[in-house]
Amino acid sequence: MTPLDDELCSLVQQWEPRLEMVCDQSLLPPVRYPADHHGDPAFTRTPEQEQRFAEIIAGADALYGIPGEDPAALGRAVESNAGLRWVHTMAAGGGALVKAAGLSAEQLERVTFTTSAGVHAGPLAEYALFGLLAGAKNLPRLQADAARHEWPHRWLMGQLREQTVLVVGLGGIGSEVARVLAALGTRVIGTSRRGEPVDGVAELVHPSELAAVVGRVDGIVVTLPGTAATQRLVSADVLAAVRPGTTLVNVGRGTVIDEDALVEALRDGRIGFAALDVFAAEPLDPTSPLWDLPNVVISPHNATLTPAEGRRIAELFAENATRLLDGKPLRNVVNTVEFY
């Protein structure tokens, strides 16, 4: 239901021969760039193609992706197919699309939804490391000096091995961030609602304690999905309590941070540097002050994309297909109460 090239389609069937994959490229929008799960919005199907597309959806046991990444299309797919058992979403945070589909309790019980969580842990951990290093080495100052062609007096740079970093969210992405940072010698504090130990994390705190702990850290990495429980969790009060010059990286969802409060914290130096891959509304509004702040690096929700992403998602789908056919629990099942 999402663009998938013939090579990956064939590989999925090789990995799990009991599957019958229907990959009709004429029914799928052409991709415009890597990992374009929506496809070209200008693409249209003929009435005959639309009928064929609907028939495929209505007869499928499982869907690889949400049609057009559109919640309304997901709702129609579930409604039209009483035998649909499983839908795999392309995003690590696919629960938000499932929630937006407005499915009934019966439909949420009948269909299992899974996400691509874990596929992106490595790339996002690298992005987090990039952001933390850029803050520790004061990238904005380096860029400003270079723009002026100025060779300044020598000044001190920070070292991650001498710093403490708070990882907000210790799921697959956060756990990998913690592992990488701990390997560098960074002291890692992590948030956890359950309090279960995580490798590389020296101290666990409850998410409700953010304001009490941020004054002790040099950097903050946000990895949480966007849910009702995480909405503006990094609030104005939390940002008011940070140590001046703190580095902030967000690779989770933009809604987790109070964006207006973040702008003020960047302006007055409480946040010395921010690397932001996600935003409360995307694409980021051209009028957003974040574009013009010298201590911000903006990437267009691009940090997950690597040449291997498509294959990794296909491998995860094939593994879960095997689990489904063998009657085993699937990986990355969406929590349909909190939708993460």
Confidence (pLDDT) at 170:
96
Q: Which of 37, 88, 187, 253 is catalytic?
A: 253
Q: Are 161 and 185 in contact (CB under 8 A)?
A: yes
Our answer to whether residue 311 is catalytic in this structure is no
Second-level CATH architecture of 121-298: 3-Layer(aba) Sandwich (3.40)
290 CB contacts (<8 Å, ≥6 apart)?
Answer: 259, 262, 263, 266, 276, 279, 284, 296, 298
Which sequence spans correspond to the domains of the chain? 6-118+306-325, 121-298
What SS3 class is residue 66? coil
**Secondary structure letter of residue 332 according to DSSP:** S
**Secondary structure letter of residue 292 according to DSSP:** G
Q: Which helix (H) or strand (E) holds 187?
A: strand 187-191
pLDDT at 35 over 80: no
pLDDT at 1 over 80: no
Confidence (pLDDT) at 116:
94
Query: Do the domains 121-298 and 6-118+306-325 match in fold?
Result: yes
Our answer to whether residue 282 is catalytic in this structure is yes
Note every long-range contact of 79-85, with CB atoms under 8 Å and residues 24 or more positions apart, other chains counting: 79/107, 80/54, 81/57, 83/59, 84/60, 84/110, 84/111, 85/61, 85/110, 85/111, 85/112, 85/324
In this prediction, residues 234-247 reach a mean pLDDT of 98
Question: Tens of pLDDT along 149-166?
Answer: 999 999 999 999 999 999
Our answer to whether residue 120 is catalytic in this structure is no
Q: Which of 301, 312, 323, 331 is catalytic?
A: 301
Q: Which is more confidently placed, 287 or 1?
A: 287
Q: Does domain 6-118+306-325 have CATH number 3.30.530?
A: no
In this prediction, residues 56-80 reach a mean pLDDT of 95
Maximum CA extent, the chain:
70
Question: Tens of pLDDT along 113-145?
Answer: 999 989 999 999 999 999 999 999 999 999 999
